[in-house]
Amino acid sequence: MSRPAPVAVLAELIRKPWFWGLVAIAVLLALNMVKDPNYLAISVNPANGHLVGNLVDILRAAAPILMISIGMALVIATGGIDLSVGSLMAVSGAVAMEFLESAGDSSSLVVALGAIGLALLVSAVLGAVNGILVAYVGLQPFIATLVLMLAGRGLAKVITGGQNTAAASDPFKWVVNGFVVGLPVVFLFATLIVVIVALVVRRSALGLMIEAIGINPKASRMAGIRPPGLLLTVYILSGVLAGIAGIFAVGSVMTVDVSKTGYQLEMDAILAVVIGGTSLAGGKFSIGGAFVGGMLIATLDKTVLFLGVSSSATPAFKAIVIVVLCLLQSQRVRSWFSRRTAPPTRLATAVTDDARKEGALA
Amino acid sequence: MTAVTTEAPTGARRALAGARRILTTNPSVLPTTAAVAIFVGMVIYGEVAYGRIVQFSTLSNLLINNAHLIVLAVAMTFVILTGGIDLSVGSIIALSSVAGVMLANAGWHPLLVIVTMVLIGTVFGVISGILVHYFNVQPFIATLAMMFLGRGLASLLSTQPERLADDSAIRWLGTQMKIVDGPKVNDLVITPGVILAVLVVLVALFVLHRTRTGRTVYALGGSETSTLLMGLPAARTKILVYVISGTLSGVAAIIYTSRLGIAQNITGVGWELDAIAATVIGGTLLLGGAGYVLGSVVGALVLGLMIVLITRDGGIRPEMTTIITGGILLIFVLLQRVVTRKRE
């Protein structure tokens, strides 16, 4: 290959799964620039030194989506899915708000930490319920988590007594609305957590083991991996991350809306993961991809709002995007574009499907 | 005379022996039997604890209020029998009823509105089916996308409760007709919606148990590989179950809207859970291949009766219902795991 280096670098970049996500973000931002040339302008608020601008807003909105996206990326890598993240956000938010309200001390750091700790504990327990059902009972992941997706919202309502509980707590509010060196704290926290998760799974064998389960649970067991324990860990992690996302989501208004907090956000998480180039079939994940996917969704949400399209239309739009992405991932469509690979026969896919079903049973 | 008297007991004995044979040779009947037992148990418990359960008004209300759920359970049974799932039923109902009410209020002919409402469901079913079959998208992902699409489109149409005009002909489907005029309000009442639901159940029974399509549905759930190797029309049937499910969701939307007279974009949130729970309680295996439509009907009635008992009891908060439904679903899924594991 005697290509000049820059071209090679570019070719390498294009092959990255998250490259097109970055392109999409750029396109969306450009679209906003067309409507308002000053869209990207960032100014410093002279009163408190905070950065102000649409980009900062996007970063803030991205935080909860990033949390559930990386959790979802790991779950999908094991060949599963976690449909309960949106409802877990509501539960976690409800727990935190109820705790803060009953404590009543709006300036105490201990109370705020207690609320966060309790909310995360509850999310971890619910994540563990998912994990046990999937790993030890052997339920299909979507059924196990579907129960919590639908019952979780009921749980949040029971916790708050059907109310949209509001509470005041300055330290809690700072986590979401505060600024450090001009940047929103919430985004810094989110990035920090993403980096920690990425380091833990990629600098150790954990990531490989997770992918091994997704490729073939039986083979991974024979290779000395214990799938149940790992699966449980992954679902607990997804639950905790959803809990953090819930805290981020309720913190900005300091109110939990039991029917709206985290509503339909499982779709955002799945979408972010798929945009990041992770196949829903499992066996692979890219934290960077999920990060880019999450940022894209936050940008998309803000763009839709900015362009004045009814925000109720976004789920429909996202659904179409995910359908298109699923189509692009399917063998049949891929074979349309490349002549080398023949489309798989119906029988071949049926055999793999059945094998997977057997795997789920084992 | 003697022939008749001797034949009656042997007939009864034969029926009993037949029932026992079915139970022992065909373990897949067991969960459905359990569902019937639970339903009877709930009726007896309700009658003893709260009273006024076994009477015309309560039972006909049970049917009227759950006619849409029965239709949804039938729809879900088709899909789950093939080993798939349809998460879009609740959203289809939202979109279909909001669109239907708006069209009716815009002056469309009622028949045209009803056909449109059903067709909206059909289109969603076709899309899900094509995604699942031709593009090999996992059923829950494909129908989850449809779920969000339906909900989004419904919200796009309107986020306010849309009221069906009082003189609209569609409301006729929800009118109550007295069959038996009991004392006071204790009448046996029925609505055209209930009749529609019963018709759906009968047709589904016939299709699943008396046609080749029905056998193929069961075969797909057993093993898709074998279905293909046997030369059964797997592709057609796999898409068909999603089309049936979507279409029946449209029918359920008509039944529900005609009874309530109001449609909203948040109608039907969580009804996927109810439909899946009804199907699973009724004894259909989530992995597919075994189950009965009538079991799902019983499952839907169990859920409906549960709501009645919760309301009568008064001590359980309404927010708890989704948790209880989820809990029941979980218990039954776990039971299925135990039963299928034993068989292996």
Gap from B337 CA to chain A (nearest CA, Å): 8
Map tokens 């007939």 to a residue.
B11
**Cβ neighbours of B227 in A, within 8 Å:** 350
The partner residue sitting opposite A158, judged by closest CB among B148, B319, B326, is: B319
**Cβ neighbours of A357 in B, within 8 Å:** 83, 287
Q: Which residue of A has its CA nearest to B145?
A: A319
Count of other CB atoms within 10 angstroms of residue A255: 15
The partner residue sitting opposite B83, judged by closest CB among A280, A331, A357, is: A357
**Segments of A140-270 assigned E as strands:** 179-180, 183-184
Mean pLDDT (chain A, rounded) = 85
What pLDDT shows up at residue A75?
Answer: 94
pTM of the complete model: 0.84
CB contact under 8 A, A137 and B334: yes
| Domain boundaries, given as residue ranges, for chain B | 33-339
Structure tokens at B119: 């067709």
The partner residue sitting opposite A332, judged by closest CB among B87, B134, B344, is: B134
Distance CA B161, CA B322 (A): 23
The CA-atom distances, in angstroms, between B194 and each of B277, B318, B336 are 21, 25, 30
* Percent of chain B topping pLDDT 70: 93
**Cβ neighbours of B98 in A, within 8 Å:** none
How many helices (H) and strands (E) would you count in chain B? Answer: 13, 4
- The pLDDT tens digits for A162-199 are 888 888 888 888 888 888 877 888 999 999 999 999 99
* Percent of chain B topping pLDDT 90: 45
Distance CA A163, CA A255 (A): 10
Count of other CB atoms within 10 angstroms of residue A196: 10
Map tokens 């094509």 to a residue.
B130
The CA-atom distances, in angstroms, between A112 and each of A155, A174, B54 are 22, 10, 53
- The pLDDT tens digits for A41-93 are 888 877 777 778 888 889 988 999 999 999 999 999 998 999 999 999 999 99
Distance CA A228, CA A131 (A): 8
Best interface-test mutation with B: which of A297, A323, A330, A357 has the largest number of B CBs within 10 A?
A323
CB contact under 8 A, B145 and A322: yes
Q: Which residue of A has its CA nearest to B83?
A: A357
Q: Residues B323, B299: contact at Cβ < 8 Å?
A: no
Where is B125: in which H helix or E strand? Answer: helix B110-134
Binning pLDDT at 50, 70 and 90, where does residue B10 land? low
Distance CA A263, CA A89 (A): 9
Count chain A–chain B contacts defined by CB atoms under 8 A: 146
Q: Which residue of B has its CA nearest to A134?
A: B334
Distance CA B141, CA A322 (A): 9
Flag whether pLDDT at B255 surpasses 90: yes
The partner residue sitting opposite B138, judged by closest CB among A139, A280, A323, is: A280
Gap from A37 CA to chain B (nearest CA, Å): 29
Count of other CB atoms within 10 angstroms of residue B222: 18
CB contact under 8 A, B234 and A346: yes
- Which CATH number fits the domain B33-339, given the four candidates 2.115.10, 1.10.10, 1.10.3470, 2.60.40? 1.10.3470
Gap from A269 CA to chain B (nearest CA, Å): 13
Flag whether pLDDT at B344 surpasses 60: no
CB contact under 8 A, B326 and A357: no
CB contact under 8 A, A151 and B273: yes
**Cβ neighbours of A353 in B, within 8 Å:** 224
- The pLDDT tens digits for B117-174 are 999 999 999 999 999 998 888 888 899 899 989 998 998 888 889 888 888 888 888 8
CA dihedral A55, A57, A58, A64 (to 10 degrees): 150
Q: Which residues, 6+ apart, have CB-to-CB distance to A20 below 8 Å?
A: A275
Q: Which residue of A has its CA nearest to B230?
A: A347
What pLDDT shows up at residue B34?
Answer: 83
- Which segment of A202-211, B11-20, B160-169 scores lowest on mean pLDDT? B11-20
Backbone angles phi, psi at A183, to 5 degrees: -100, 150
Where is A51: in which H helix or E strand? Answer: strand A51-52
Q: Which residue of B has its CA nearest to A146?
A: B273
Q: Residue B263's beta-bridge partner residues?
A: B162
Per DSSP, helices labelled H in A78-166 are 85-103, 109-132, 141-160
CB contact under 8 A, A270 and B152: no
| Domain boundaries, given as residue ranges, for chain A | 54-324, 330-362
CB contact under 8 A, A310 and B156: yes
CB contact under 8 A, A326 and B159: no
**What CATH number is given for A54-324 in this structure?**
1.10.3470
Binning pLDDT at 50, 70 and 90, where does residue B115 land? very high
CB contact under 8 A, A146 and B149: no
Query: ipTM of the assembly?
Result: 0.79
The burial class, CB within 10 Å (0-12 / 13-18 / 19+), for A279 is: middle
What pLDDT shows up at residue A362?
Answer: 41
Flag whether pLDDT at B28 surpasses 70: no
Q: Residues A77, A198: contact at Cβ < 8 Å?
A: no
What pLDDT shows up at residue A266?
Answer: 87
CB contact under 8 A, A154 and B152: no
Binning pLDDT at 50, 70 and 90, where does residue B219 land? very high
Count of other CB atoms within 10 angstroms of residue A183: 16
Distance CA B225, CA B235 (A): 12
Best interface-test mutation with A: which of B319, B329, B337, B339 has the largest number of A CBs within 10 A?
B319
